[in-house]
Copies of this chain bind each other. A is one copy, B any other.
Amino acid sequence: MQDIKFAPPDGAFTRTVQIRFSHCDPAGIVYFPHYFNMFNGLIEDWYTEELGVNYADLIMHDQHGFPFVHIDTDFKIPSRMGEKLDLTLLIEKIGRSSLTLAIVGHKDGTERLRARTVTAMMSLSSGRSVELPAALRAAFEAYAAKTGGKT
C-alpha cells in the first residue's frame, strides 16, 4: 500500500496526541480501541475550543444526546509509543439531525488512519432524532466554509 499524503486545509482543527505506554499493546503499537477514545476527545475539544459550544453542557444539561450512529475507519500505518500523532477534524456533511465528520490521523505529512463518523442529535426524553439547533448548524456551516467546504 502506498503512503497517502495529507496536509490539513487552512483553518482546520488539529490536535496532537502523545502516544503513551498506556495506548500500546504487546506488539508495541496503539491498541485500536484507543483511537476511538482519541476521536471522542478531539470532537469534544473541537466543540469547546473551536465552536465555543460547551460539550459537557450540550450533553449533560440540555437533555440532548449526540450519539455516534456510524463509524468507519481505515487503519493505514500503526503508531508507536513516544510518537506524536496529529488528528485533524473536517466536516463531510451536515444533515437535518446528523453530522458527518472526517477525522484524519497523520504524521509528517502522511496519513496514518482516517475515520468517518456520523452522530445524530437525539432528545434524551423521547429517544427520537431532533433537528440540529440553528446555532449549532450555523457553527458547523461556518467551520466547513472556513476549511474549504465539505470534504
Contact = CB atoms under 8 A, between A and B. Distances in A.
Interface string A84-111: 0000000000000000000000000000
A37 B28 contact: no
A26 B71 contact: no
Interface string A60-86: 100001011111111110100110000
B70 A71 contact: no
DSSP class of A's interface residues: helix, strand, loop or mixed? Answer: mixed
Contacts of A59: 21, 26-27, 81
Nearest to A116: B72
A90 B27 CA distance: 26
Nearest to A28: B26
